[in-house]
Chains A and B, each alone.
Chain A
Amino acid sequence: DIQMTQSPSSLSASVGDSITITCRASQSIDTYLNWYQQKPGKAPNLLIYIASSLQSGVPSRFRGRGSGTDFTLTISSLQPEDFATYYCQQSFLAPPTFGGGTKVDIK
């Protein structure tokens, strides 16, 4: 299975900050990388697919980049509703696998 490693596992930030979450794959996955946001008690929500495509309805402050093994999710100007846990997921090879998650909380 392809292992997905996210860093950091948690971070504290303030409203208005810009943050970057990193996801690394154990082998090249081209751009088959997706990002999800999960708020407490809720289902995950797709933010970014194929590394950099913004899902409909997702604010443009979310940006995904990368290819091969290294990917980033950047949230510019954090809003109160952005405090959540973020997961990356590879869809290059079965089984699809998720990163361990990055919890973003309020400083």
Chain B
Amino acid sequence: EVQLVQSGAEVKKPGESLRISCKTSGYNFYTYWIAWVRQMPGKGLEWMGSIYFADSDTTYSPAFQGQVTISADKSISTAHLQWSSLKASDTAIYYCARGDTARGWFDPWGQGTLVTVSS
């Protein structure tokens, strides 16, 4: 069974750093992309960027370029999303999802990680 299991909820203060993870299993992760998608409270879905496990090729939405870093650890088939300095406006649920291409349809999705940034 294809599964994407994300790390747990986080509560952080503005200015702090954070890395969340997405552990993949049940398929050959080398041949797929992993996308990260943001959902702010009560809002829609926004694609942040995607990474290809085989060569760590990474592409970002212009809206998120420079704001976050997407990486992958092939040894543990896990993708990461990280911030160096969080803002209150980063409060959201972050989903990872498997994609056949960087921008293709996404299936399946992880369960989501709630990130709360508050002083």
Contact = CB atoms under 8 A, between A and B. Distances in A.
Interface string B92-119: 0001010001111111111110000000
Contacts of A100: 44
Interface string A85-96: 001010101111
Nearest to A33: B105
A2 B35 CA distance: 18
B44 A99 contact: yes
B105 A43 contact: no
A62 to B, nearest CB: 14
A43 B110 contact: yes
Tier of interface size on chain B:
20 to 34
Contacts, number: 60
Interface of B: 35, 37, 44-47, 59, 61-63, 95, 97, 101-112
Interface of A: 1, 34, 36, 43-46, 49-50, 55, 87, 89, 91, 93-101
What is the predominant secondary structure among interface residues of chain A facing chain B?
Answer: loop
Nearest to B102: A94
A100 B39 CA distance: 11
A11 B49 CA distance: 31
B105 A89 contact: yes
